[in-house]
A and B are shown apart, each in its own frame.
Chain A
Amino acid sequence: MNIVTQTWWMTHRRLKALFRQPAVLVITLVQPAVWLFLFGALFKRVVELPGFGSSSYLDYLIPGVVVMNAVSANMWSGMGAIDEIERGTLNRFLVAPIRRSAIVNAGVIEAAVSTIVQSLIIVLLGWLAGAEFPGGVGGVAALLAACVLLGTVFNGLSTAMGLAVRQRETIIGLSIFLLLPLTFLSTAFMAKGLMPGWIQHAAAANPVNWAVEIGRTALSADPDWAAMGRLGGGLLVLALALVALSIRSFRGYQKSI
């Protein structure tokens, strides 16, 4: 059995588990819906600030909320890794004749699929609420691609932490420490020109902001392809680095048993 078949069956298992509980996918969408519709309504008039540069706050928010959801959903992957260790499932796969990379790949693919499904639902909710996407289908696809890459980064980080530390508290801490700070240090909720200078600098180095910027320009009437390529390239490099890290942490786990 080759690596592709192995990856397929490992992924098949995870996706089956995912779609066995569709309610989980929907429940995790409550948070983004709150951001989109409550936060969006509360700060509706923020677009009237001179220099905001957008006429509808809902339109403005959608890429930010979609990206934020991709970060928060993927940050829990370490929990799954800890569950699989405690249940003995990981060891069962490690003594089977399959490659370690098939196990890691399956995690990445599952994360990508659930990120795409959730992102599409958020986009759809926004559209039903009257948001406009001048960038069209291509723009949405670019937003999804950015979310998948960013999701892979946080999925890899969380998985590596789960395998290395094997404590649920660490995964919860990771989420608390990173999610909101990284979101607020980006243009998810506020236009760049209106942010304090230091936050503008922090945002430039923040991968969450890269994904938001890709999504926002992709959904606009006049996408900046050069910027998308540059930021997308950065996300791709980070994603590959984090996948490599999580493969390493598998080796580390095996050394510890």
Chain B
Amino acid sequence: MTQDLKTRLDEATDRPTAFVPDLDHLLAAGRRRARSHFAVTIAGTVAAVAVAATAGAIALNQGGGSGPNVLPAPPAGQATSATPTTTTRCLDEAGQPSPKGADKWESMVTVKDKYGSSTVRRSAGQLAFCSEFSGKPTIVTQQVMLPRSSVWLMSVCRTDPSCTDIVTVFMGRLPANAVRVAVTPAGGGKPVDATTRKGFFAYRWIDVPDLSRPATARIYDSAGRELGHYRV
């Protein structure tokens, strides 16, 4: 009964030439759109986390808002030069604590500094992002989930009494086709390549977070083309 309507609709769309889009233009525009969407997603997510991390860092740095910002004095009789306790924390790709023993999984990539080390570990398809550091982890531990990648900001207060600097750990899975991650820490300076190995990357740096001069990490493919960037 509605065949007549269909016929009319078919006739109405009849025209001598079919619509053939310019495929080159379409593909170029699609790639460009995908790249910009990737960059915007990353920038937005990381910026949100950076604000949270910085706010937490400031809160910790202020120590409740009164008095000098120093760590508690050690108990009487305890040597101040005692070696601080080493702590390892591992979180999975969803930001949840990793299973027990994750800190012993196969190391994919690791970075170290004098305050500790950070390692991406893998076992049976599961990933664990582990950070080892002296002293107690702060609450300023954030994870950023990204398309095809996962970046972590695991900021810890330095163990020295001034407690002003933040160790930021930046690690995750390299996006497809990416071979290099160049990091420019907050405050500017020359970009430094993150350590990459087995499809993962990691980089640790120590600074005082400054939102007015964000850190930037740019991801490149083997041809040197930028695939996306993070601003922290």
Partners in one complex: no
